[in-house]
Amino acid sequence: MEGTIKLILDEDRNKELVLIAMSDITDRKEVEQTIYHLAYHDSLTNFPNRVTFMNQLRTYMMDVKLTKQKFAVLFIDLDNFKYINDQLGHDSGDLVIVKAAEFIREALRDSDVAARMGGDEFIVMLKDIRDLNETISIVKNILANFQKPIVVNGKECTITCSIGVACFPEHGDTPEELIKNADSALGLVKKNQKNNYYIFNKNMEYISLERRIIENAMRKGLKENQFFLEYQPKLNIQNDELVGMEALVRWNHPDLGTIPPGKFISLAEETGLIVPLGEWILKESCRQAKEWHEKGFGKLVVSVNVSVRQLQDPNFVTQVEQILMETGLEPSCLELEVTESVFADLNSMIPILKQLRSLGLHISVDDFGTGYSSLSYIKHLPIDTLKVDGSFVKDIHTNEESKAFVKAIIHLAETIGLKVIAEGIELKEHVEALKRDGCIFGQGYYYSRPLKKEAFEEFVQNIVLT
C-alpha cells in the first residue's frame, strides 16, 4: 500500500482534519520487480547476468579478504556453439543454452553463483572452497553433466563445453584479474582439445597475451594489404606439362618480414579471421588465374586451400559463386583443397561439398593419408582429387611402406575415378618412383618452389621455351 497524508487547516491555521489516502500499489511493485529482474538477470536462463555477477563477486571478494576463505572462478564456453546456431537455427540455439545452464546449475552447490555472460559463455563462482581438489571435482561434474543428450528438433544431440579455472587468492586479487586469468585458461582449452578444463598458471598469461598481439596484428595486416599469394606450379609429371598452380598465402609483416602460413593460419582459424582472410585469398587467386588465362598461359587450374572453418560459414557457397562470377573464372579452373579433418564431421560437410561441386569446381583432399579418411569410405565422398601427403613421397624411393601406400592410393583412385597428385616431390628419385607407379600429377621443390606472381610468369615462359 502507498499512503499520502495531508493536513487540512482552517482559516486561523488551526488543524482541522487529517486526510489519509491509501492506494493499492501491488501492480506497480510487480512491474518494478520485473524490471529489476530483467535488468539483473538473463531472461533465457534466468541466471544472474554479468552486472549482477560482477557485483556479487566484488562483495564476496571483500568478505573473504577478511575471513581468508578460498574460492574459484570458472569461465565456461560451449564448444562449436556457433555451428549449432548456424545449422539448426536460433530457437535450437536458445534451447541448447537453457540446457547448458541446467547442466551447470545441477553440478553446483546452493551457495555457488552461476551467471550468463552473454552468447554461449557462462561464469561461475565457487564459494568457500577447501582446496583445489574440491574445485576440480565440481568442474568434472559439470563436464560429466554435458554428456547427457539434449533433444533438439526431435533429435538427440550432445554438446560439450570448455572450462577455464582461476582460484583466489593464488591467481589474482581483483575480480577483473581472476576473470581475465580464467579466460586465458579457457582460451588454451579451446585451442587444444576442447571438452576439458585448465587451471590457470603464469605461463598462460604470456601465451594469451602473445595470441592477442598476433590477432590484432593480423586484423591490421588484412586491412593494410600485408598478405600476398605465392603460386606453386602443378605438373603432369609424365610429360612435364604445366597444369595449374596452388595458391599459398604469406604475410609480409612490416617489422618481421615474410611470415609463413604455418605460423598464422591456425590462429586465424581459431579467431575466425580466416573467414575474411580466406575470402580475400579466394578472390585474389581467381582474379590471378583469370588474368593468366587471358595472357594465354593455357587453362591453368588454380588450387586454393580452404579450412573447415570457412566451409562451416553459412555464406561460403554463395561467396564462392559470387567470386567466380565477379572474376569471370571458369568454375572448372578452380579447385578447393580441403584437409582430411573435414571428414571428421561427414554429415554436415558432405552437403556443402556437393553444393560446391554443383557450381562446377573441383574438390581435392589435401595431405591425404595423414588424418581421418580411410580408403574404405573415400569412394562415397563428393571429391575429385586425392593429394598424397609429402611425407609418403619423401621416402617413397627407400621405404617399402610408403611405396605400397602410394601405390594403393593410385590403384584405388583409378578404380573409383579420382585423380591423384603427389606433393612434396624434391628428388629425381621421387619422380621416377611415382612415374613407375602410374602417378600422373605432382608438385614440389624438384619442379619449383612456390613463386611470386612475376617469378611464376617467368616459370611459365621458360617451360614454353624448353
Please give the residue ranges that form the binding site for ligand C2E (CB under 6 A).
Answer: 232, 247-249, 260-262, 265, 278, 281, 305-307, 337, 366-367, 390, 423-426, 444-445, 450
- Residue 244 binds which entry of Mg ion, ligand C2E, none, CB below 5-8 Å type-dependent: none
State whether residue 307 is helix, strand or coil: coil
Cβ proximity to ligand C2E, 248 vs 349, nearer residue: 248
Cβ proximity to ligand C2E, 146 vs 447, nearer residue: 447
In whole angstroms, how close is the CB of 387 to Mg ion at the nearest point? Answer: 6
In whole angstroms, how close is the CB of 466 to ligand C2E at the nearest point? Answer: 20
Quote the CA–CA distance of 312 and 314 in Å, as a whole number: 6
Quote the CA–CA distance of 263 and 431 in Å, as a whole number: 30
Which residue from 72, 52, 50 is spatially nearest to 61, judged by alpha carbons? 72
Reported residue count of the chain is 466
In whole angstroms, how close is the CB of 447 to Mg ion at the nearest point? Answer: 15
State whether residue 301 is helix, strand or coil: strand
In whole angstroms, how close is the CB of 130 to ligand C2E at the nearest point? Answer: 47
Cβ proximity to ligand C2E, 105 vs 253, nearer residue: 253
Cβ proximity to ligand C2E, 120 vs 340, nearer residue: 340
State whether residue 334 is helix, strand or coil: strand
366 is an interface residue for Mg ion by CB under 5 A: yes
Quote the CA–CA distance of 129 and 40 in Å, as a whole number: 26
- Residue 444 binds which entry of Mg ion, ligand C2E, none, CB below 5-8 Å type-dependent: ligand C2E
Residue 275 is inside which H or E element, if any?
A: helix 274-294
305 is an interface residue for Mg ion by CB under 5 A: yes
Q: How many CA atoms lie within 13 A of 407 on its CB side?
A: 11
Cβ proximity to Mg ion, 77 vs 367, nearer residue: 367
Quote the CA–CA distance of 466 and 464 in Å, as a whole number: 6
Pairing relation of β-strands 362-368 and 385-388? parallel
- Residue 261 binds which entry of ligand C2E, Mg ion, none, CB below 5-8 Å type-dependent: ligand C2E
Q: Which stretch binds Mg ion (CB under 5 A): 76-84, 332-340, 374-382, 394-402?
A: 332-340
In whole angstroms, how close is the CB of 87 to ligand C2E at the nearest point? Answer: 21
279 is an interface residue for Mg ion by CB under 5 A: no
Cβ proximity to ligand C2E, 221 vs 450, nearer residue: 450
* Torsion over CA: 136, 139, 144, 145 (sign): positive
In whole angstroms, how close is the CB of 367 to ligand C2E at the nearest point? Answer: 5
340 is an interface residue for Mg ion by CB under 5 A: no
Q: Which stretch binds Mg ion (CB under 5 A): 16-24, 43-51, 165-173, 367-375?
A: 367-375
In whole angstroms, how close is the CB of 382 to ligand C2E at the nearest point? Answer: 20
In whole angstroms, how close is the CB of 111 to ligand C2E at the nearest point? Answer: 47
- Residue 281 binds which entry of Mg ion, ligand C2E, none, CB below 5-8 Å type-dependent: ligand C2E
- Residue 248 binds which entry of ligand C2E, Mg ion, none, CB below 5-8 Å type-dependent: ligand C2E
- CB under 8 A, 24+ apart: contacts of 442-449: 442/234, 442/235, 442/237, 443/232, 443/233, 443/234, 443/235, 443/246, 444/390, 444/393, 447/233, 447/235, 448/232, 448/233, 449/232
337 is an interface residue for Mg ion by CB under 5 A: yes
In whole angstroms, how close is the CB of 368 to Mg ion at the nearest point? Answer: 8
CB atoms within 10 A of CB 339: 21
Which residue from 361, 312, 317, 315 is spatially nearest to 336, judged by alpha carbons? 361
Instruction: DSSP for 380-441, please give it.
Output: GSS-SEEEE-HHHHHTTTT-HHHHHHHHHHHHHHHHHT-EEEE----SHHHHHHHHHTT--E
Cβ proximity to Mg ion, 42 vs 337, nearer residue: 337
- List contacts with Mg ion (CB under 5 A): 305, 337, 366-367
